[in-house]
Amino acid sequence: MKFATLPGGGTDGRLVLVSRDLQRAIDAAPIAATLIDALERWEDVAPKLQARYDDLNAGRIADARAFDAAACLAPLPRSPQWCDGSAFLNHGRLMERAFNTPPIPDFATIPVMYQGASDDFLSPTQDVPLPSEADGIDFEGEFGVVVGRVPMGVSATQALEHIRLLVQINDWSLRAFGPREMKTGFGFLQAKPSTSFAPVAITPDELGGNWRDGRVQLRLHIEWNGHWFGHPCGSEMNFSFGDLIAHAARTRQLSAGTIIGSGTVSNVSRTAGSACIAERRVIEIIDEGEAKTGFMRFGDRVRMMARDAEGEMPFGIIEQRVVQAGAASAKEEQR
């Protein structure tokens, strides 16, 4: 199944089912009013939602309408919890060099994860207001999973059974804050503004063979101001999503609607490019002796989309512009 959330009905928006080709949509009500409602009652509502989804794809729903991805909120405008890992060891090792931090103990055997803010997720097309260009504005392309309730102590294999949906993420970062916050040992706060999501969340079966071994086996294509930046593949995750979920649930249960991120998609091959600016900069330092690529400026745009071998984009597209926070607020007040 494919889901999206449109404005209306309250803070959590209004849930719609989206056709497999992302061309048509139909309200999920009265089965489930919101995506968090559906996730909390998944065992009861999933069969009914599947039947309605099948009818939508078969053209049996007369009141289906054109799907407008630009009108969507994040699939979950807010969630009970957002935990982001660093499952691509290539990226993690490069970031150690970028931040000049000592190697993380057991990095290759125990997943690294921080708990981010989950109260204000951004839509795939809205402007991203940030305080200052001096903060080192960076995008980070990721994949993620949304789980049902996960019991404490679940194994990595069992954890895969609790995955309800897959999502595509832009986990914005402010690099100027990163080194200090990493050294405190308390995790990120100011370095991580609100996270953005592609418009469509999908059940794993929608990917067919491109969902395998607890990994999204797709390339994530990234453009910055209209220019190619990278197309790394999710297959190179050193830890699977099962591993990440089990790590998060080691000492507590996870609520339905918890989102677990992969961390920045990163491939060993330099020809794949990068999914964030910081990674490109540290590669430039390694290869050329200095970083030559600057961070984002106000007015810059980033575009992200996962593509399969046929060119289909199952999650839709994230396409956003960075703006100065004060100017954005003033502009909204004038409307």
Domain extents in the chain: 2-67, 82-334
pLDDT at site 99: 67
User: How far apart (Å, rounded) are the C-alpha atoms in residues 178 and 295?
Assistant: 14
Cβ count within 10 A of residue 40: 17
Q: Looking at domain 82-334, which CATH architecture does it have?
A: Alpha-Beta Complex (3.90)
Rounded average pLDDT per 10-residue block, the chain, 335 residues:
95 98 96 98 98 98 96 98 95 76 82 94 98 98 98 98 98 92 83 96 98 98 98 97 98 98 96 96 90 97 96 97 78 40
Cβ contact 188:116 at 8 Å: yes
Got the DSSP string for 81-105? -EEEE---HHHHHHHHHHHT-PPPT
Retrieve residue 156's tokens.
């990595």
User: How far apart (Å, rounded) are the C-alpha atoms in residues 90 and 86?
Assistant: 10
pLDDT at site 107: 84
Residue 198 to residues 4, 96, 97, 318, Cα–Cα distance (Å): 9, 28, 30, 5
pLDDT at site 181: 82
Got the DSSP string for 285-329? HHHHSS-------TT-EEEEEEE-TT---TT--EEEEEEEHHHHH
Cβ contact 20:2 at 8 Å: yes
Task: Tell me: cis bond preceding 77? Omega within 30 of 0 counts.
Answer: no
Specify the pTM: 0.94
β pairing state of 24-27 and 227-230:
unpaired
User: How far apart (Å, rounded) are the C-alpha atoms in residues 332 and 335?
Assistant: 5
**Residue 278 class from Cβ within 10 Å (0-12 exposed, 13-18 middle, 19+ buried)?**
buried
pLDDT at site 329: 47
User: How far apart (Å, rounded) are the C-alpha atoms in residues 335 and 315?
Assistant: 31
pLDDT at site 330: 43
Tell me the three state secondary structure of residue 49: helix
User: How far apart (Å, rounded) are the C-alpha atoms in residues 46 and 39?
Assistant: 9
pLDDT at site 189: 86
Residue 232 to residues 54, 268, 307, Cα–Cα distance (Å): 32, 9, 11
User: How far apart (Å, rounded) are the C-alpha atoms in residues 314 and 7?
Assistant: 21
**Burial profile 311-323: b = 16 or more Cβ within 10 angstroms, e = fewer:** eebbbbbbbbbbb
* 270 HSE (CA, 13 A, CB side): 8
